[in-house]
A = this chain, B = another copy of it.
Amino acid sequence: MGVVNKKDDAQMNHLIGALPNDEFIRLKPNLEPVSLSLGEVIYESGEQLKYIYFPTSAIISLLYIMENGSTAEIGMAGNDGLVGIALYMGGSTTPSRAVVQSAGNAFRMPSLALNDEFSLGGVFQKILLRYTQSLMTQISQTAVCNRLHTVEQQLCRWLLINHDLLRTNKLIMTHDLIANMLGVRREGVSIAAGHLQSKGLIKYVRGTITMLDRDALERAACECYRVVKDEYDRLLGKYIS
């Protein structure tokens, strides 16, 4: 007791949990726990960022909003990642919006403290850069996935990612919201979801989706899911193992 311990709440975020003790102790005073509610906008497109967020139980979605109002998700971050890359990459902001997709908790850290620690060039910097590369893989794969795969395959992929981050089979999410994430029509999601339900992979009623057969979902998803997951493990596995 009294000793700052890595088996702390902050541990629940894999990136924070991967830090060596000395770096963690230095950072800890700057980590402020916050509670994030569904739909909350963490960052608006083009807005100067003040904090970087390390989700623990929350899931945050990175969305692009086009001029005509349609939206599409380019990436997702949960306790495996962070939100606010632009702060240490030098841009201070991005053209995307960050929205809370699943309510929960996170730690946030002010820009100044972040940059102080980042510039020391320690493990913190290494992890942040590696995570950034992993996010680039996620975004890249989303790009090709949007081009080459069907809505149903993409829905499977999206459900699997959520499953990994939530670690529960129940997902509170309407078809309409999923459609906004995938950048397709609500009907398209309804049809794909109906198909998956009839095959027994999922079950849903009014805003909650239950995943019944994860293995089958993986088989029904496109390769993109696995590529991104494997690349994350390759880049960060040795830290968070």
Q: A95-B227, A143-B146, A183-B147 are in contact. Are A133 and B86 (CB under 8 A)?
A: yes
**Bound state CA distance, A129 and B128, in angstroms?**
12
Size of the A side of the interface (Cβ < 8 Å), in residues, is 43
Q: Are A139 and B143 in contact (CB under 8 A)?
A: yes
Interface of A is mostly: helix
**Bound state CA distance, A139 and B140, in angstroms?**
6
Stretch at the interface among A7-15, A18-26, A64-72: A64-72
A140 CB contacts on chain B under 8 angstroms: 62, 64, 74, 95-96, 139, 143
A147 CB contacts on chain B under 8 angstroms: 72, 146, 183-184
User: For the complex, is A89 an interface residue (Cβ under 8 Å from B)?
Assistant: yes
User: For the complex, is A195 an interface residue (Cβ under 8 Å from B)?
Assistant: no
**Bound state CA distance, A146 and B130, in angstroms?**
26
A89 CB contacts on chain B under 8 angstroms: 129-130, 132-133, 136
Q: A72-B144, A74-B143 are in contact. Are A235 and B66 (CB under 8 A)?
A: no
A–B complex contacts, Cβ < 8 Å, 9 sampled: A62-B140, A67-B223, A72-B144, A89-B129, A91-B134, A94-B136, A136-B139, A146-B147, A147-B183
Residues of chain A having any CB pair with chain B under 8 Å = 62, 64, 66-67, 70, 72, 74, 85-86, 88-91, 94-96, 119, 121, 126, 129-130, 132-137, 139-144, 146-148, 183-184, 223, 227, 231, 234-235
